[in-house]
Structure 1
Amino acid sequence: MRTIGNILWLVLAGFWLALGYAVAGLLAFVLIVTIPFGIASFRLASFVIWPFGRTTTWRRDAGVWSVIGNVVWIVFFGWELALLHLLAGLLLMITIVGIPFGVACWKMIPLSLVPLGREIVPISSAYSDPYAIPA
Structure 2
Amino acid sequence: MRLVLNLIWLVLCGLWMAIGYTIAALVCFILIITIPFGIASLRIANYALWPFGRTVVDDPEAGAPSLVGNVLWVVFAGWWLAIGHLVTGFLLCLTIIGIPLGLANFKLIPVSLLPLGKQIVPAP
Counterpart-to-counterpart distance in 2, 1:93 and 1:34: 35
Instruction: Give the alignment of 1:1-135 within 5 angstroms.
Output: 1-124=1-124
User: Scaled by the length of structure 2, what TM-score is found?
Assistant: 0.97
Shift of 1:94: 1.9
Counterpart-to-counterpart distance in 2, 1:77 and 1:67: 15
Note the residue ranges of structure 1 that are not aligned, 5 or more in a row. 125-135
Note the residue ranges of structure 2 that are not aligned, 5 or more in a row. none
Counterpart-to-counterpart distance in 2, 1:90 and 1:120: 24
Counterpart-to-counterpart distance in 2, 1:52 and 1:106: 13
Counterpart-to-counterpart distance in 2, 1:51 and 1:92: 15
In the TM superposition, structure 1's runs of 4+ consecutive aligned residues that sit over 3 Å from their partners are: none
3-state SS in 2 of match to 1:111: helix
3-state SS in 1 of match to 2:119: strand
User: Scaled by the length of structure 1, what TM-score is found?
Assistant: 0.90
Opposite residue 74 of structure 1, the aligned amino acid is V
Counterpart-to-counterpart distance in 2, 1:108 and 1:102: 10
Question: Quick one: percent identity of the two aligned structures?
Answer: 56
How many residue pairs match? The answer is 124
